[in-house]
Amino acid sequence: MSGEARRRRLRALVRLAGVKVVGDLDTVERAFTHESFVKEHGGESNERLEFLGDSVLGFITASWLFERFPGDDEGALTVRKARIVNDPQLAQTGRRLDFAAVLAIGAGMRNAGGTDNTSILADAFEAFVAALFLRYGIEPARRFVEGEHIAQLDHAAESLLDAKSRLQHWAQEHLGATPVYKDESRGTPQKPSFSSVVSAGKKKLGSGEGLSKKAAQQAAATAALQNLETRKVRETQKH
């Protein structure tokens, strides 16, 4: 993408924060400059902006949650905050807003799929929030985070927990037991593959596979929840 085309995209992103007069784009451009690009071309990467943006994002998110969920205690608010600011969620927003079109990354990293890398996209999101804060103030940064990220997420209580957490809550409530995962490595160092079987109270609940032990356990927990839901539907139909 040419320099002017990239700057038009950057101006459009800034306007999502309610900024009418965009002005100088140096800080915003730096927010989308990955260290791999700097190593090849020089300049300054987005790492320092990412550091600041992490705190600005956390403050905006915590403030929003504090006002929106007055009945939640600290633990519940912490879980909600983690759900909002984790890398996969930030990266998903970055994909929706086509951050790939404005990311400046090194040739090697680009060839390796860097423009869709979750960590790179999440870092760029945080850096962009910092750029908005530094260049235009806290309110534009808040409008961007709340409107383009937080408002797009599902804030229902059940959506806040991953499959393993939800399964653990169910097993402790209904079986009085904690799920146990039996893992097995099936792959090679070059092509890792894991399988996991989850059980609770001597009952096998589900199994799954993944490229890592954690992924396999999540897959097993997801399968277990699906099995439990199917069983619940069948029992309802009998009655």
Over residues 201-223, the pLDDT tens digits come to: 888 999 999 888 888 998 898 88
Q: How many helical (H) and strand (E) elements, i.e. helices and strands, does the chain have?
A: 11, 3
Q: What is the pLDDT of residues 155-173, one digit of tens each?
A: 655 555 677 887 887 887 7
Domains annotated for the chain, with CATH where assigned, are 3-159 (1.10.1520.10), 163-238 (3.30.160.20)
User: What is the DSSP secondary-structure string of 159-203?
Assistant: GGS-HHHHHHHHHHHHTSS--EEEEEE-S-SSS--EEEEEEETTE
User: What is the DSSP secondary-structure string of 99-138?
Assistant: GGGT-B--HHHHHTTGGG-HHHHHHHHHHHHHHHHHHH-H
Whether the predicted pLDDT of 232 surpasses 60: yes
Q: What is the pLDDT of residues 55-95, one digit of tens each?
A: 999 999 999 999 999 998 887 788 788 888 988 889 989 99
In Å, the largest CA–CA distance within the chain is: 70
Active site residues: 54, 126
* Confidence label for 238 from pLDDT (cuts 50, 70 and 90): low
